[in-house]
Structure 1
């Protein structure tokens, strides 16, 4: 399953043969230097794409977000077309499943070299997301520690970049487990809803479907964007808005959404049950799983 391709990710000064910049390797063997800054400092970025029935999803959106993250970290300008080619090649090489994922990783490389490192890996997630989609997840609200406008006031904090520095994202999941929950919704220190550690938040209020505004330093969700297309076609009004934490309790339904999980309903927040719209969840996931790109 773990097909892997090493990519020469930086834009070449002269056009080179694309095939010569993609190298299929054995993912079970060492491929990255112990001196790589992605290993020693978590200095890099990544994206994870869902693959449904052999078709990688939202490739353009993921590559755009990768480019934005690279710019925020002052990485060299990436050859996104080389990375795109690697994505499609690794999907072809991977063991076939109805659903699996592809991860794109770019690091600053070995310190002082000025050469970025990148690879693309296909993998099958160990989790069975079907259960989460049907039954929902329990979440806790945790303060991220920044006000909602931190991205504009302190861009050096890299709020909104999808970096390899995931220690906090994993720590909050352990805290959720200690509290008897499955996942987390981050809040700002001044009382606004943000996102999950690896998912976007979507809320339903009557005929309105809202997600927290990305200007708060949160990632623009690729699956959230696809879900909004479905909701708009179904007659809902969709928007990015500033949402106060207390508005979560007024929602008719709430979801976490990501490339692997699709729409996962939230059934409990801080030990308090909230409504689950099973019919809309099933219809939305059916639409997301029927996508061809």
Structure 2
């Protein structure tokens, strides 16, 4: 994929196209050594009627909520829409054959200026739908459950934990992925210390039980999912009811189907958890993927 990068000056409401591979970020930026910033990743699907940014509004609403949780400046939606649209146009010109790709956009607290104020900066760049993603969509994934280290619903008592904000601090998420791989699994599934199922490191969980689609309550200590909500929007069309619920591991293992859902992967079947095989509903997997990709 073309090495494009758009740098954003949130204060001036301007942006410029540059080279993704060139040095851009000073090490004094707080995103570099403290993970002090936020991001979103959107899926772009190109069809006969042009490019569609999947769940654009929901992603930006969450971006804005994350900024509020971190006391960052309120993002200008018009500015970020122009950034995304400009990047799509550049990619369409450079690689017109690409019909599906992601865009990751971020806002950092930036650097601490001599006047004591911070200078926020932003950026956006394309993310390919690679073979790993395509394989997961087609074949599904396995997972191991991991203790998240806190009780469910702690966020209401400890807002400084930033549960529900999509921050750049992903070291724990990355470590969970490595632990899963070391235990011969594709993914991890976080569980609260008191046994409530939460989410994957980079995906929400949805299960089917009979005619119901169930997903963990975001207030339990997880990220409010854009893809999960898009699927829930179409539940009635699928002949299903959509509900938020507290789930335990046995609920997932005994489900009539389970999926990790996220912007880039869309919906991938969870076919095994902690060595326990889970029923795979291939028809519903296909329909979920069609819904998310808008095809």
TM-score (structure 2 length as normaliser) = 0.92
1:44 counterpart residue number: 37
Structure 2 counterparts to residues 1-293 of structure 1, below 5 A: 1-10=2-11, 21-53=14-46, 54-94=51-91, 95-96=95-96, 97-112=98-113, 113-290=117-294
Compute the displacement of 1:80 (Å): 2.1
On the 8 A contact 1:133/1:265 being kept in 2, the answer is yes
Question: Counterpart of 1:173 in 2: which secondary structure?
Answer: helix
2:54–2:293 Cα contact (<8 Å) kept: no
Q: Partners of 1:127 and 1:119 in 2: how far apart? A: 25
CA distance in 1, matches of 2:68, 2:292: 30
Unaligned runs of 5+ in 1: 13-17
Deviates more, 1:75-84 or 1:258-267: 75-84
1:3 & 1:77 partners in 2: Cα distance?
Answer: 25
Residue 270 of structure 1 deviates from its aligned partner by 0.5
CA distance in 1 between partners of 2:228 and 2:3 (Å): 27
